[in-house]
A and B are shown apart, each in its own frame.
Chain A
């Protein structure tokens, strides 16, 4: 496998967890750039071109809510998990744990 193919596989794996990662970080409200930093601090690199459209999509699905606020003479859009998102998050976490357990079992069997 070439480096490019490996990178693509990693990218695909990460893409699957972005929604869960974003929802998990928005218990407190954050604006886009602060969210990128917070995800980055925990080891998940995400570019702006992916994050902002995703935030809009999650908001349109009712999982996030947002509001514009003027701070230091500049408008910023703050995102936060909605009630619907809060209800969904534990179910997503449970599903994630199931996936991790299942993959661990499968990978152990394959060794």
Chain B
């Protein structure tokens, strides 16, 4: 392999496989033309020095490869404002939660932490690690959405041609055409579903009551005891809920790519809402959604009066049921809206579904 082949390979390995051979062949041909010309003008045969000179003029392989790509983003200008909005809303909450959990984890360590600065450093490390991990996950979600939204990426001809729906000046008015997607709603839903999948499947302990060794219910450094807040009956439904969240994310990504609602996507959305309502209704008829009981208190060595425990279980049960009723009500509203929009003639000029 000579220098020109090496150079062309260096450029080629940075290009999509399907375009690589063609572009490499063209670069080899172009370099050979340049060398022939240089050899003629200098009146001497081609040697390594001359080749180095020509390759230097042609440019850094990385830059040459980039010139075939066009602009590429991990999070492009279209999604960036939403990314910043989500960061502003979620990060203070994540930082507070991370701080809380870091303190709890520190307090649960077997060896007592005697110096305050050591504890502080442990908490700080916990917060920073969690926040960085959350940021990574968020960037990953947005990068996947960005990739999915790229209707046409690097085409077989090496041309980046992002095709976007024609901009509609009506989007400036407050009335939005019913078939037009709301980017912020879809992205919020994707992030929320992703968070729900991660939390309920991997961090179910986040839903538990924590007590210090003295039985006081406030945050403090000491030996912590946890009682699961939600019952096993509730967690039996998690696989079904996870399936609904995953399907919701897939539907949202499809909508982001299409840019508008049509009859099929509305029917799928209605189907998912109906399944959601069915799951929420099944949860509602469960005898208890709360895992806290007198025996669970006794099991961790906490003494509380039966009246106190009874009131607590009743209140928590009512709270969870209220949340479920709210979810059923809002999903019902969404279903009604979707049915109306399937039957109602679309806003003039809005992208039409089938």
Indicate whether A and B interact: yes
* Interface flags, B39-63, vs A, CB<8A=1, else 0: 0000000000000000000110001
State the Cβ distance, A82 to closest chain B Cβ, in Å.
13
B window 57-71: CB within 8 A of A: 58-59, 63-64, 67-68
Among A13-21, A48-56, A85-93, A95-103, the stretch in contact with B: A48-56
A window 50-100: CB within 8 A of B: 50, 52-53, 56-57, 59-61, 68, 74-77
Tell whether, in the assembled complex, residue B157 and residue A59 are in contact, meaning their CB atoms are under 8 Å apart: yes
- Contacts A49-B59, A49-B63, A52-B26 given; does A57 touch B33 at CB 8 Å: no
B326: Cβ under 8 A from any A Cβ: no
- Contacts A49-B67, A50-B67, A56-B68 given; does A32 touch B158 at CB 8 Å: no
Q: CA–CA, A75 to B30, complex, Å?
A: 10
B window 15-49: CB within 8 A of A: 23, 25-27, 29-30, 32-34, 37
B176: Cβ under 8 A from any A Cβ: no
State the Cβ distance, B257 to closest chain A Cβ, in Å.
21
Of the four ranges (under 10, 10 to 19, 20 to 34, 35 or more), the interface on chain B belongs to 20 to 34
Tell whether, in the assembled complex, residue B157 and residue A49 are in contact, meaning their CB atoms are under 8 Å apart: no
Tell whether, in the assembled complex, residue A32 and residue B59 are in contact, meaning their CB atoms are under 8 Å apart: no
Chain B residues with Cβ below 8 Å from A52 are: 23, 26-27, 30, 67-68
Q: CA–CA, A90 to B67, complex, Å?
A: 29
Tell whether, in the assembled complex, residue A57 and residue B159 are in contact, meaning their CB atoms are under 8 Å apart: yes
Chain B residues with Cβ below 8 Å from A61 are: 159
Q: CA–CA, A50 to B58, complex, Å?
A: 11
Chain A residues with Cβ below 8 Å from B157 are: 56-57, 59-60
B129: Cβ under 8 A from any A Cβ: no
Q: CA–CA, A33 to B31, complex, Å?
A: 9
Tell whether, in the assembled complex, residue A56 and residue B29 are in contact, meaning their CB atoms are under 8 Å apart: no
Counting residue pairs across A and B whose Cβ atoms lie within 8 Å, the total is 56
- Return the chain A residue nearest B158 by Cβ: A56
Q: Out of A31, A47, A57, A76, name the residue touching B158 (CB < 8 Å).
A: A57
Q: CA–CA, A46 to B38, complex, Å?
A: 17
Chain A residues with Cβ below 8 Å from B64 are: 49
- Return the chain A residue nearest B25 by Cβ: A75
Residue among B26, B34, B63, B157 facing the most chain A CB atoms (10 A cut-off)? B26
Q: CA–CA, A68 to B64, complex, Å?
A: 21
Chain A residues with Cβ below 8 Å from B34 are: 33, 48
Q: Is the interface of A mostly helix, strand, loop or mixed?
A: helix
Q: CA–CA, A75 to B4, complex, Å?
A: 14
Q: CA–CA, A50 to B59, complex, Å?
A: 11
Chain A residues with Cβ below 8 Å from B25 are: 68, 75, 77
Chain A residues with Cβ below 8 Å from B30 are: 32-33, 48, 52
Chain A residues with Cβ below 8 Å from B161 are: 60
State the Cβ distance, B71 to closest chain A Cβ, in Å.
12
State the Cβ distance, B156 to closest chain A Cβ, in Å.
8
Q: CA–CA, A77 to B59, complex, Å?
A: 21
- Return the chain A residue nearest B32 by Cβ: A74
Chain B residues with Cβ below 8 Å from A48 are: 30, 34, 58-59
B184: Cβ under 8 A from any A Cβ: no
B window 145-167: CB within 8 A of A: 155-159, 161
State the Cβ distance, A110 to closest chain B Cβ, in Å.
32
- Contacts A53-B67, A60-B158, A60-B159 given; does A33 touch B26 at CB 8 Å: no
Chain B residues with Cβ below 8 Å from A49 are: 58-59, 63-64, 67
- Return the chain A residue nearest B59 by Cβ: A49
- Contacts A48-B58, A60-B157 given; does A77 touch B68 at CB 8 Å: no
Tell whether, in the assembled complex, residue A77 and residue B29 are in contact, meaning their CB atoms are under 8 Å apart: yes
A-B contact pairs, 5 of them (CB 8 A): A33-B33, A47-B59, A52-B23, A57-B159, A77-B26
